[in-house]
Structure 1
Amino acid sequence: MKGSILKIVFISIFSLVSSFVSYGQIVDLDSDNPYKKVFVDTDDFDASYLTVLEESWDKVKDDTIGLSMLNDLAYYWHTRNLNTSLAFAKKGLILSAYKNNPLWEGRFQITLGSILLRMEKLDSAFIVLKDAKNKVKEEDLAFLNTQLGYVFERRGELDKAADYALESLRLGEKLHDKKAIALAYSDLSNIFWKQSKFEKGLEYGLKSISIFEKRGIKDLDYDFTLYVVGNNYLELGKYEEALAYYNRSIEMGEQYGFYNNLSDVYISLVDLNVYLKQFEAAESAGAYAVKYAELLENNFMIMRSWLSIGKLQNLEGKSKEAIQSLQKSIKVATQDFGDEYYLSQAYEALGVAFAATQAYEEAYQAFIKYDKLKDSIFTAEADQRISHLQTEFDVALKESTIKLQETELAQQSTRQTIIIVIASFLLLFVLVLYKSYQNNKKKNALLERQNKEKEFLLKEIHHRVKNNLEIVSSLLALQSAQLTDANVVNVMQESQNRVQSMSMIHQKLYQGTNLSTIEMKGYFNNLGTHVLDSFGMEEQVNLTCEMQALELDVDTAIPLGLIVNELLTNALKYAFPDNRKGEVKLALEQKDKELLCLEVSDNGIGQSMNEKIGETGFGMRLVSLLCQQLQGKMNRMMKDGTSISFEFKIEHHNS
């Protein structure tokens, strides 16, 4: 409990610091809707909401919105301090009268009545509320009736209080006002609790909680209902359930600064801790109850707080202290106090305290007053009236259920008709879909057949290109066989290899499953084997391809094949003289989506011995041109042989 009060102190100290955060959540003067009504449109703010309303209500240009903000300011100040609340309510009455606005004058009268009854000015509250009834709209009457019910509840006339609660319930159901329905159930729960009908009180309280939870807005009445449900659980001896609801009420009260509800809950926690034999905790709860009641300047709460402390002291055997506490309680309850229910409890507890100190005459007088007050509250007539009202309500609820069922049957018939119509449309739609599916199936079959034909034709074209290139290669071979000049023969052989490298590309295409790409590792292995064989050096030079499987498009593969062909040819011609054995390595790697790296290296005698040929020969010029075609860069390194590497940008061709 110390932690709880520390939270309240923290909120009070820093409310001004945090008010700018709440300001934007409740009030935005530049918006078309400058005010999100507290506890209706939003509860997303902290305990500084009263400061926000006070600073901004008179800055709003729209009179209706400004009066609404001022009315909320007046009403919710009664959760902190009744006198401050009263001042704002009177200001609202004067302003609405000045603006000749009877509707808002009536609404401020409802707020004023709710404040006066909490100040125990029950007669004044009743007069003000009755006068407001002819000024406000039907949507305001449920809340007005709730306040009138509180007047009679405080007077101990529980039957009349129940009348007003049921009227609020009827209005709430008529207007589909969930808040009014929840509040009516809450009031009935409280009335049944005072009548000691705790099972019925719990039933209505839980109904109220259910509606509040579905509504999704935390507010003063939701907080109060948690407290009332806890009271019913307490009287039924279900202490854990009672404590759970009290703790929820305290958490909400601390969040928004509902001092009146906090005082209520701490009074009940005195009783709960007494039942649990935790007297120290009960004393602490009593102290907090008094503290919040005095902050409110609410005599009703102060009286009840001292009453709870006096009853606790009786149980602790502190009879003299109990007499002092109970006399404080009764002193606060002046002649106009009005709430005979709690006053009767105060005289009963005082009689017990006097008897314990052997002051029997004083005890006798206290018990006489207790009996008189109790008889005025729990009369047979009142009990009969509440039972009759309960019966009326149960019958009305059954009639409402029957009407609801009839409405549901009519709606069900309408739904069935709609379902039949929709089902007919769906059936027609399915038939159209099926017909469309059949047509698409035929089209897809035709397209698949055409695609297979195109694929066959493409493969046939690549096959014929490969055959034509083979013929060109054979012609070159026949021509070179008739030549005697060694240099010319070498040129013819190199040309033959170039043609063969392109021929292999087309062979890979028509033999593979993909007509647009070439698997380069297999292609390089075949190309390397062919070049070695053409030079007769397959036993002298070992060729390795150090690369992963990699597929490239034709436009990239053909230039790469020609480059590798030229570099292999150069290596075999110049790197391994005098039948020297050696090794040639090919490496191709795609480093990212845009970059391709090629390297051809050998461990031969190095470039220095044939630098002129390497620089000026047709093969290297061809390599240079092909490198430019692929937008590449070429680098050479002479160490332990020759290594030539390339970096090419990959162009992505749309298929």
Structure 2
Amino acid sequence: MKNITVAIFIFLTHTIVFSQNERQIDSLLVELGNHQSFVAQINTLNNICLEYDKNNVTKLALYNQKILELARKHNYEIGFGLYYLNFSGINLYNERYNVALEFSKKAAAIFIKNKDINNYLIAVKEISKDYIALSDNQKSKLIINQNLKLALNHKNNDIIVDFYRLLGDIYGYQDSIAKSLIYYKKVLPFLSEDKSLAKSHFFQKVSDQYTNLNQNDKAITYIDLSIENRETNYQFLVQAKKALILNRLSRHNRALGLSLENYKSILKYKMTSEWQYNLILYNIANAYYNLKKYKLAIQYIDKVIDSKNTIPEYKIECFVILSNIYFQVNKKKEARFYSEKALIFHDSLYKKFENFELYSNISKIEEDAGNFEKALYFYQKQVNYTSKKNAQINNENNLLLQTDFDVTLKDYNIKTLEEQKKIKTIENKKQKELITFIGILLSIALVSVFFYVKTNKTIKNKNKVIENEKIRTQKSLVEKEILLKEIHHRVKNNMQMVISLLKIQSLDAKELTVEDFISVSEARINSMVLVHENLYQSQNLSKVDFKEYMNNLITSIISSYQGFKKIELRIDVNEIYFDVQTAIPIGLIINELVNNAYKHAFKNREKGLILIQLVQNDDKYMLMVCDDGLGITDHQINDKGLGLELVKLLVSQIKGVSQIDNSNGTRFTMQFQNVIL
């Protein structure tokens, strides 16, 4: 279910393999035991606090208290600042956000007074996080921007990375995906070459944003980078997110294999996080559902629903999948039960939450049950949600076109390769004793000139390619916007025509049973549906291949009259293309006439012929529908029955002229032009 991205949970920012921390802490404790000055002792204690940060708040508080004791003993202001900073982190963890902010500001004031710029910048980062926790994103952005230049001047890469990442996070919280990616882009040049959990979290955030933009191929690229920066035993935490994206890309077999591996891993390592457990089970169920292995899908859906603390979004999605499964296997009662259950659960928890798949499911079930007003209501909600979501994504993609995020990533990879090459070159130089100092200088000069020329040329080519791609994308967006409006216009017209047909049909309802009423309405609406099916399967979305359309329509009609197998239905139509506004009325006319012939023309006869002929002469067309049956009587022609009245209305709609001849069977002829109304 594609809409599950609305409910994606961001992986925990501070997930750390604690065994690594313990080894580092042991080393720091050994260092602390050595003879040190009180300043060195405070710094070592602070490093221990950083290792315990949010993993063991009790021990963090214990060692932070020792910092305070030493600071008081020696009246050391920097020590007080470090104590305030750690104390702020403890309060942030315990959700005492105002207290955390107060002590972060105290720490910052001490550090700036003592010109300790690095610790001051760390305090600024904590102040920013406190404001985010207090939902004051504006102040968080303000304090980062005020100190960003200072961080750049001091070349503190770790702080620069944190500042840009926090700005990206803030815009992500404010649903400005493109701006979020713009700031994430700025992080790349300052990332270290070493693999780390922090880099894994960062690339996973980038993947999340591309997922929100429906750019799932790019999302896969960055989730793979996130996986590469994790230890092998803990990669399955991110691989679960990858499986979710693979399902969105319809790579269900790959998603299933990866998800089953994740499920084994989460059992092996005894991970108990409910959202991780729910996500992996949901991925398995979703993959089995799309692979049409419904029994297996239901098994894993039950595991999600029966989980003690099931994540609400996953429960809603699972109910929708269950409803779809039962609808597919023609268990309409069960399908409606789970559909209604999903809607009740959805509305009770998420008043502002929209779920495309849920609306689509309910509309389908209500339409199948004949509740057309209710089906139309949820179909409209589905259309409105899609239009709104697509507009948001288009706006974000337009803004993103103004950046060179992916180019920067390539530059980052190139930079990493160049650094590795330099290291190798230095090692080789040590082994080459015959290379003179002058030769080295000449080689460097030649290489510099070469790379300077090549780099300039490459940048110009890249800029040209990006500009051309931008123009093509903008043009494509305009074309798609026009096409989307045209589709909405067609849907509106067709819905209006369906309503009109049903109203006209209701005038004749006294002479029809409910079953006949539905059957006749279904045949008429099906002739309209086939037009759009023809368009959907065609490369030309504006013209209907009428010959192919006629074959499909007649096949549909014949299937409804299994008892008339000896009645021959002959079609004589050349390759002709009509606009939708012309094709639908003609299809409805043919539907009416052929159905009437089957019902009335061959009473007490075993054989017969129905002929449909459509010929073109320049810009004019002639349609003929005739049979060799009993022939329509003059009384029936003048009686103004519903079928013939509908035919007359449709002939008038396309500005045609028609006549009926009953001298030898029944012959209907009509002349018209292909006119766009």
TM-score by length of structure 1 reads 0.44
Q: Decide which structure has the larger Cα Rg and report it.
A: 1
